[in-house]
Structure 1
Amino acid sequence: MFRIPITDDNTNMVSSISLHSTHADLSHEATLIIWDELPMVNKAAWECVHMLCCDIMHQHDLPFGGKPIIGCGDFHPVAPVIAGSGKMATLAASVKSSQL
């Protein structure tokens, strides 16, 4: 839905959604966004969606532009996969380490 790129470098993700597209319209009109398996997501993707929602909603002073988001998933067994890295890199990439 958010067209988040899948790359080896998960630091600077930018969605490929145009602010005048059907996807942007659907996101703007949604009353709630539910994100399943959130613990598996790299925090860069989480923050990418935050920036996209802020742009779509024209509201940059609220998390996700004021759009309610419910994140589902179990944080214990699953963490984001960082190829060739240790526990500290995995923790740093976790959604739980995001300032959001």
Structure 2
Amino acid sequence: MRDVAALPTLPELCQYVLTALCQHDNLDPDQTPLEQALITRHGRPCGLFFQVQGPRLLKNYAIWAGEENRILYYNCNGERVAETRLSEGPDPRGLAVA
């Protein structure tokens, strides 16, 4: 699956990723928490790691590569299952480094 989406804000990006990750295994986005972690390169933010966990320790995850303007989706076996190209996305440099 290759899509193109305009997700100019971080909340829009997070909601889109949550929906896509849940859709793959028919999880309910309202019942599934989205975990996220900052990805840095040379000490600067460059994207986000997302993960959802379903029943029986099912875990799907996605990587938002902000500098590449794309989201890569992986299943619980580590296989890439989809990709979304962003025609518009948030600036990864605006993410806070903890």
Asked if Structure 1 and Structure 2 have the same fold, meaning a TM-score greater than 0.5 normalized by the shorter chain, the answer is no
Smaller-chain TM-score range? 0.3 to 0.5
More strand by share: 2
Higher helix proportion, which one?
1
Mark the structure with the bigger radius of gyration: 1
Q: Normalised by the size of structure 2, how large is the TM-score?
A: 0.36
Higher relative contact order (CA 8 A, sep 6+): 2
